[in-house]
Amino acid sequence: MIFTLPWPAPLTEGALVRRYDRFLADVTLASGETVTAHCVNSGSMEDLVRPGARVWLTPATTPGRKLRWTWSIIEHQGVFVGADTSLPNRLVKAMIAARALDGLDRWSTFTPEFVHAPGSRVDFRLIEDGRTFDLEVKNCHLVYPDGGAYFPDSVSERATKHLAVLSDEARRGERAGVLFVVQRPDARFVRPSELHDPAFAKAAREAARAGVGFRAVRVHTTPEAVHVLDEIPVDLAPCDLSTLAPWRAAAKPFSGWQRSPRKSAVRLKP
């Protein structure tokens, strides 16, 4: 499974200054200018928020957008890591369209963001030989020293709800699956993180028993292009949390975001 998705425009290198208010990041460019980029990542970005780290920004192409840049890549201990959690959906959409996703290449139609009901949708619905297949895509960028890519890196009630919807479909005899996209090349397997979100890990095991399929692809996100390398296994078995906890503790200083100080309005009495 080899697939390459080019960037829509050349990326610009800089150095991370800080991540704050969850979705904002200040970056100093080579010119010395400091810009604010959109951080498309609602998680903690565990171990990745390291001031001074090399990062790459994508220029905005949407007319009238307030922020001119999107934070796309960070270099972490010599490894390029994709920072944009919206990229996996764009990548998988391109792979499905090119019939490059093994096992899902016989579709007659596919619909991104398919709405099951008000407030409920799946990333992709494919029609294959008259049967539906619903696919949910999950971004992963946390890799621990055991080679495992762990998802999520913070509590994600939304992701757990997605699994519940897929589980219900599978119990009705419909086909459904989850595809983890690991945006770094040093992962050896994927594991739902019971340490970060035990509800999600439990829901994943229940979904698998209901008939939901789990797969993962390993991706090398570089400043030149996004390269799908291969497929790696998904391990749904419970793991030893005592091994993972020290790794999480060591990464804590380089996770999350700062909060900007809020200035409260002062009203003067007449």
Binned at pLDDT 50, 70 and 90, residue 65 comes out as confident
Encode pLDDT of 208-232 as tens digits: 999 999 999 999 999 999 999 999 9
Give the mean pLDDT of 144-153.
96
Question: Which two structure tokens, joined as six digits, stand for 72?
Answer: 């796309």
- Which helix (H) or strand (E) segment is 71 a member of? strand 69-76
Helices 157-171/198-210 angle, 10° precision: 10
Q: Which of 2, 1, 7 is nearest to 225 (CA)?
A: 7
Structure confidence at residue 264 (pLDDT):
38
Backbone angles phi, psi at 28, to 5 degrees: -95, 120
Question: Cα separation of 197 and 249, whole Å?
Answer: 15
Question: Cα separation of 184 and 140, whole Å?
Answer: 9
- Using the predicted structure, report yes or no on whether residue 253 has a pLDDT greater than 60: yes
Q: Give the residue with greater pLDDT, 170 vs 118.
A: 170
Beta strands in 93-186 (DSSP E): 107-117, 120-128, 131-140, 142-143, 148-151, 175-182
Instruction: Determine what percent of the chain is predicted with pLDDT higher than 90.
Output: 86
Structure confidence at residue 29 (pLDDT):
97
Structure confidence at residue 61 (pLDDT):
78
Structure confidence at residue 129 (pLDDT):
87
- Sketch out the chain's domains with CATH numbers: 9-82 (2.40.50.580), 87-252 (3.40.1350.60)
Question: Cα separation of 69 and 23, whole Å?
Answer: 12
Encode pLDDT of 78-132 as tens digits: 999 999 999 999 999 999 999 999 999 999 999 999 987 667 789 999 998 889 9
Encode pLDDT of 29-57 as tens digits: 999 999 999 999 999 999 999 999 999 99
Give the mean pLDDT of the chain. Answer: 92
